[in-house]
Structure 1
Amino acid sequence: MQLLTHQSSYRPPWNKGKLIGQKRPLKLKEIWAIRIRIELARRTRDLALFNLAIDSKLRGCDLIKLKVKDVAHGETVSKRAIILQQKTKQPVQFEITEQTREAVSNWISQASLSSDDYLFKSRIRNSLHISSRQYARIVDSWVAQIGLDPTAYGTHTMRRTKASLIYRRTKNLRAVQLLLGHTKLESTVKYLGIEVDDALEMAENTEV
């Protein structure tokens, strides 16, 4: 009688060795550490991508599909933009800060992009824009460059970062809800992990 075995076809789980759950937002000093390294390396596209990811608070699937006309009129990058979210089909508005406008403008000029072009074109012939996987690898490289563990951070880190900073500064949940484009306030509370984060912050600031 033949004994059947599945050892040869065994595939390890996709999440083996990875941290699953919410990805950590970047701290202000970490944002500047990454930004400075990108600037020193003169990676114009990465600087535009990084700054816009922080400012927009968009999901990766929306960020990679941005077109020039979504954020710029002619040669002028807008101070604000409105994007229809792929997941919720709801519009979300975000501010584009001066340093981000400059970075995006420099990238558009350097890459000779037209209004209908994708802002972050793929270098692969069959792809119109960078893929979600490419974007994830880019984010991994950013955090690794400043000594952070890439398994603890990801593309959602970029979405959470500014929202977390705004909440810590203002404690205004409603404002953060609007900025993230959430339809329910409960989603924003869960998304920010407020109770856990606040407890950790209190513990760090308590003298023993």
Structure 2
Amino acid sequence: MGDEWVDRFADHLTVAGRSPHTLAAYRADLALLQDLLQAVPLRDASATDLRKALARLHAQGLGSRSLARRLSSWRSFYHWLQQGLLRDDNPAAGLRPPKRDKLLPKALPVDGAAALLDRIDGDSELDVRDRALFELVYSCGLRLSETVGLNLQDVDFSDQLLRIHGKGGKTRLVPIGAEAALRLRQWLALRQASTDEAALFTGRHGRRLGGRQVEKRLRDWAIKTGADQHVHPHMLRHSFASHLLQSSGDLRAVQELLGHANLSSTQIYTALDFQHLAKVYDNAHPRARKGRKPDDED
């Protein structure tokens, strides 16, 4: 009987103009549900039955995003039954998938960030610009939008500060590291731009550099320098935060430098910091690993 209702639901979706790919996904999600329900007919499943089905999938290791998609399919099916007066309720209506696993931002190791930046080397105008640009992103923890939005007047060499125009129109001042300041001076000595162009970083035609160009240049440099992973501008921002927190332990300071409105946005980096500390502990503490002999101690 379950297959009959699925077929009728699929006919409804076809009339509604859904693609064959979407129909196949709905059918697969409903077939999975019927397997999980076992002897309970698909049409007659209760909210408790569906909750148990979700719990079983979660226990099997299915991620929150996949669970949410399957629950959406089930909800649509039971909504169709309810609209057609084939059920009095939608048992999936009040169910929610587990919260999505909070993905940790990817950060380069300290030596990895240094190796990447040090290998961005060359005498051409674009090479010098790229070194200055990515040194500044890593030195100041810039977002991509903040980077391409920088103007000449935002750089204060006398106090070695950078004025950053962040989210929500908020402005913050961040110190510029010595290496970034050196590379910026080298870039400004070569910078060519239209007379009315105020952008700090410009492209081949003397106009403001765009975000996609920045992403492509960093990707290309990462490939050239032999990086073993895809590197994007936001990874340099994550690396800035993670490395600063590892060295200082000052979460509030990192929050201000990143321009986070809420401390909770910054606290994710404490997980990265803990991972770093855990590795140090595992590698250094004489009792951290099973089977380590006293003779192995330094």
Q: Which residue of 1 aligns with 2:259?
A: 181
Q: Which residue of 1 aligns with 2:133?
A: 49
Alignment of 1:46-195 (within 5 A): 46-72=130-156, 76=157, 78-85=159-166, 87-112=167-192, 117-123=198-204, 128-144=207-223, 145-150=225-230, 153-190=231-268, 192=269, 194-195=270-271
* Post-superposition offset of 1:28: 2.1
Q: Which residue of 1 aligns with 2:73?
A: none
Write the letter of the residue equivalent to 1:134. Q
**Higher fraction of helix:** 2
SS at match of 1:183: coil
Q: TM-score, length-normalised on structure 2?
A: 0.54
**What is the rounded CA distance, in whole Å, between the counterparts of 2:272 and 2:184 in structure 1?**
35
Percent identity, please.
Answer: 23
CA contact (8 A) 1:77 1:104 kept: no
- In terms of Rg, which structure is larger? 2
Task: List, as ranges, runs of 4+ consecutive aligned residues in structure 1 with deviation greater than 6 Å.
Answer: none
Point out where structure 1 has 5 or more consecutive residues left out of the alignment.
Answer: 8-19
Point out where structure 2 has 5 or more consecutive residues left out of the alignment.
Answer: 1-16, 21-101, 284-288, 290-298
How many residues get paired? Answer: 185
**What is the rounded CA distance, in whole Å, between the counterparts of 1:98 and 1:199 in structure 2?**
29
Using CA pairs under 8 Å that are at least 6 residues apart, name the structure with larger relative contact order, 1 or 2. 1
SS at match of 1:88: helix
SS at match of 1:169: helix
**What is the rounded CA distance, in whole Å, between the counterparts of 1:165 and 1:57 in structure 2?**
11
Write the letter of the residue equivalent to 1:44. V
Write the letter of the residue equivalent to 1:117. A
Cα–Cα, structure 1 residues 63 and 78, in superposed 2: closer, same or farther, change >3 Å?
farther
CA contact (8 A) 1:78 1:101 kept: no
**What is the rounded CA distance, in whole Å, between the counterparts of 2:136 and 2:272 in structure 1?**
28
Q: Which residue of 1 aligns with 2:40?
A: none
Cα–Cα, structure 1 residues 78 and 51, in superposed 2: closer, same or farther, change >3 Å?
farther
CA contact (8 A) 1:71 1:77 kept: no
RMSD (Å), alpha carbons: 2.9
**What is the rounded CA distance, in whole Å, between the counterparts of 1:51 and 1:203 in structure 2?**
27
SS at match of 1:39: coil
CA contact (8 A) 2:242 2:272 kept: no
Cα–Cα, structure 1 residues 106 and 170, in superposed 2: closer, same or farther, change >3 Å?
same
From 94, 110, 115, the counterpart of 1:33: 115
Q: TM-score, length-normalised on structure 1?
A: 0.75
Q: Which residue of 2 aligns with 1:13?
A: none
